[in-house]
Amino acid sequence: MSDSDHVTGLATRGDLERTLGRLMAPDVRPRCAVLICDVVGLKAVNEGRGFRAGDAVLATAARVLVAEAAGADVVARLGGDEFVAVFSGPSADADARRAAARLAACAEPRLRSATAIATASDTPGVLIDRLYATMRAS
């Protein structure tokens, strides 16, 4: 793993892409599910209370995600207020959905999430793009 994200201590986007590349390699292909979440209202915190307050919210969100995504192969900050947890194995989809349900019940910070299952034709980039589209649709 490279240097961690300086605000959250999570893995970086590069770490995420390497993990997905390893899990989604044609000769490996375990069942893989990904959870994406973002922080609801972070822009208002940054604008109203400043970026240090926003960073504190991001750090709290990261701790919540790590706790609720226990067992994930990697938990990373994708960028901005977006985080990703990757699950692999036979229960990957169920694990990701359970984590999403626990995140939805979290009162502070409020986190919005979506999940996707990697398909045989996905590349890490395609899977991440599909996650973004899923979040925009939710």
- pLDDT tens digit string along 101-137? 999 998 889 999 999 999 888 888 899 888 888 888 8
- pLDDT tens digit string along 52-99? 999 999 999 999 999 999 999 999 999 899 999 999 999 999 999 999
Contact status, residue 43 vs residue 114, Cβ threshold 8 Å:
no
pTM summary value: 0.92
Contact status, residue 4 vs residue 10, Cβ threshold 8 Å:
yes
Domains along the chain with CATH numbers: 13-137 (3.30.70.270)
Partners of residue 74 on adjacent β-strands = 86
Lookup: tokens for 43: 């822009």
